[in-house]
Amino acid sequence: MTNNSASSSHVFDQAIALTPDGDTFTGHPSADYQNMVGPFGGITAAKVLNAILIHPEAEGSPVSITVNFLGPIKNEAVTLAPKLTRNNRSNQHWSVELIQGDEIQCTALIVLAKRMDTFESEEITFPDAPAADTLAELNSDQLPPAWVNQYDMRFVYGNMLTMDQPEVPSESLLWMADKPARKLDFQSITAICDAFFPRLFLRTRKLSPAGTVTFTVYFHVNSEELAQQESTRVLGHARATKFSGNYFDQRGEIWGEDKTLLATTSQLVYYKD
Amino acid sequence: MTNNSASSSHVFDQAIALTPDGDTFTGHPSADYQNMVGPFGGITAAKVLNAILIHPEAEGSPVSITVNFLGPIKNEAVTLAPKLTRNNRSNQHWSVELIQGDEIQCTALIVLAKRMDTFESEEITFPDAPAADTLAELNSDQLPPAWVNQYDMRFVYGNMLTMDQPEVPSESLLWMADKPARKLDFQSITAICDAFFPRLFLRTRKLSPAGTVTFTVYFHVNSEELAQQESTRVLGHARATKFSGNYFDQRGEIWGEDKTLLATTSQLVYYKD
């Protein structure tokens, strides 16, 4: 399923592995990160970001990524076609298409930047959460999709598998880490931003059909700051704002264990009930 | 500046007016919506959305738009090049490029959908706000950019022109309306989502250089629900999460006067200090 160079590496690295092919890259959906229909969106978004981060013309660290999911990705090779739409002095804009055969399956916009020291302030505060090792790990045997097995999830509240209905019914707070532990990077944080279960499941307590149509991550650390994260675990916080007319949105924040805000994320999700 | 058909219409309609030109559309930056450097991003995003909403192949109402701003738009004609990347049974994915000469100035992803009745729930509550007519209108003479004159803004709190520092320093709550009053539509809501002044100005009390690099709106009403809005005014709520390394993000919600959540929005903004 993956190219040989990644065969001995972490399951996540295998899943996002790409082979250069002229101006494009080739990859493969990973059986380890399958979802109900097609691959887990987070791993696809991480692969799209990876195509830019390993690109020879890439400069700086990512500050934003938006991926739109056009339809279910089939279990066959994917081609990633990146286009450098603007090379500014301090940032780069990229467009990416993920293609299977003659179908575009994903469209994406990515911004990289050479970040400089400026006025800094975190306007929201680290949520009150007990240490991860005091909490039970989610038993992924209770959930069918393969991708859930690749994460260590420890819920403070908002676990859809239990009846501990949180005070705000579509809100979750949980520790998340790659399994086995893996040094955090922008690719893994991108995937983790999509690893909040759909807020619909939590809100209605039903596993209804649902699929992300657009997914955005803003990164709040540069490469050096991210490399300083010693913990491989993050605290994730997510909630919905509105369910209406087949679509709901969810917003989230990803915090380092040292209380640094690493990323904010939002997505719009199609659903049926 | 605009085509003749729009010359007698609202200043907003003149600003987003487009002329079909084969597979593309042609428009012009509006002097009425100029910002410090180039046009107000909200009017550009509204124009990008307009290119899809007036497109003969468009079906359904918009559910999401992301616009990336690659560089300052010059005061000359713009070409909008839309591409229908996927036509699903219940939704459409579009990519759009806004071009001047041989430069791409904006890239955008838009999703339209035929929305159906489903389980509905608003997970956040309408903010406590006094009626708009009890509040003073912002005196736009105090702010140089032309676009500010096109909005009636009435601050509950978080007005950067006064010293009423809000409890959360980067947060604002305000009533907003087109001036003169104009029936709300998806284009005008898109522009309004960008009409929150940069949170940096509020947080630092300085007008530092700042420009949006990526801007996203999720719509929580369909065309019929939006048409039912009798008021031409909305309540906007915005806050930043983090300022760091030349970039900060801001998130917001746009509520109808009848307390319906119309849209949620986020953006990432480049800044210097």
- For residue range B94-146, list pLDDT tens digits in order: 999 999 999 999 999 999 999 999 999 999 999 999 999 999 999 888 888 99
CB count within 10 Å of CB A181 equals: 12
In a domain, B110, yes or no: yes
Number of structural domains (chain A) is 1
Q: Is the pLDDT of residue B180 over 60?
A: yes
Copy the structure tokens of residue A223.
């490469």
* Bridge pairing between strands B103-113 and B91-100: antiparallel
In a domain, B123, yes or no: no
Copy the structure tokens of residue A136.
């039970």
What CATH number is attached to the domain comprising A222? 2.40.160.210
Q: How far apart are CA A130 and CA A135, in angstroms?
A: 8
Of the candidates B97, B119, B242, the beta carbon closest to that of A273 is on B119
In a domain, A5, yes or no: no
pLDDT at A169: 82
Q: How far apart are CA A177 and CA B201, in angstroms?
A: 36
Of the candidates B107, B222, B253, the beta carbon closest to that of A93 is on B107
At A91, is the secondary structure helix, strand, or coil? Answer: strand
Torsion angle, CA of B145/B149/B150/B154, rounded to 10 degrees?
110
B4 confidence band (pLDDT: 50, 70, 90): very low
Q: Is the pLDDT of residue B8 over 80?
A: no
First to last CA, chain B: 35
Q: How far apart are CA B218 and CA A70, in angstroms?
A: 16
Q: How many residues does chain B have?
A: 273
In a domain, B3, yes or no: no
| Interface mutation vs chain B, best among A67, A119, A203, A205, most B CBs within 10 Å | A119
Residues 6 or more apart whose Cβ sits within 8 Å of residue B129? B156, B173, B175, B235
pLDDT at B168: 67
Task: Mark yes or no for CB contact A261/B249 under 8 Å.
Answer: no
Torsion angle, CA of B114/B217/A249/A11, rounded to 10 degrees?
110
B25 confidence band (pLDDT: 50, 70, 90): very high
Report residues of chain A scoring pLDDT below 70.
1-8, 163-168
Q: How far apart are CA B26 and CA B34, in angstroms?
A: 18
Overall average pLDDT of the B38-51 stretch: 98
Please tell me whether the overall predicted TM-score, pTM, comes out greater than 0.90 for this model.
yes
Of the candidates B66, B70, B90, the beta carbon closest to that of A216 is on B66
CB count within 10 Å of CB B134 equals: 9
Query: What is the ipTM for the molecules in this complex?
Result: 0.96
In a domain, B17, yes or no: yes
Q: How far apart are CA A137 and CA A143, in angstroms?
A: 13
Which chain A positions have a beta carbon within 8 Å of B37's beta carbon?
none
CA distances from B206 to A121, A191, B173, B200, B210 (A): 15, 36, 19, 8, 11
- Rounded to the nearest angstrom, the minimum Cα separation between B246 and chain A is 6
In a domain, A239, yes or no: yes
pLDDT at B162: 81
Q: How far apart are CA B42 and CA B48, in angstroms?
A: 10
pLDDT at B207: 86
Domain enclosing residue B23, as ranges = 11-114+128-271
In a domain, B144, yes or no: yes
CB count within 10 Å of CB B80 equals: 22
Query: How many Cα atoms sit within 13 Å of B148 on the Cβ side?
Result: 16
Q: Is the pLDDT of residue B3 over 50?
A: no
Which chain A positions have a beta carbon within 8 Å of B171's beta carbon?
123
In a domain, A120, yes or no: no
**In DSSP terms, which residues pair with A65 in a beta bridge?**
A110, A217
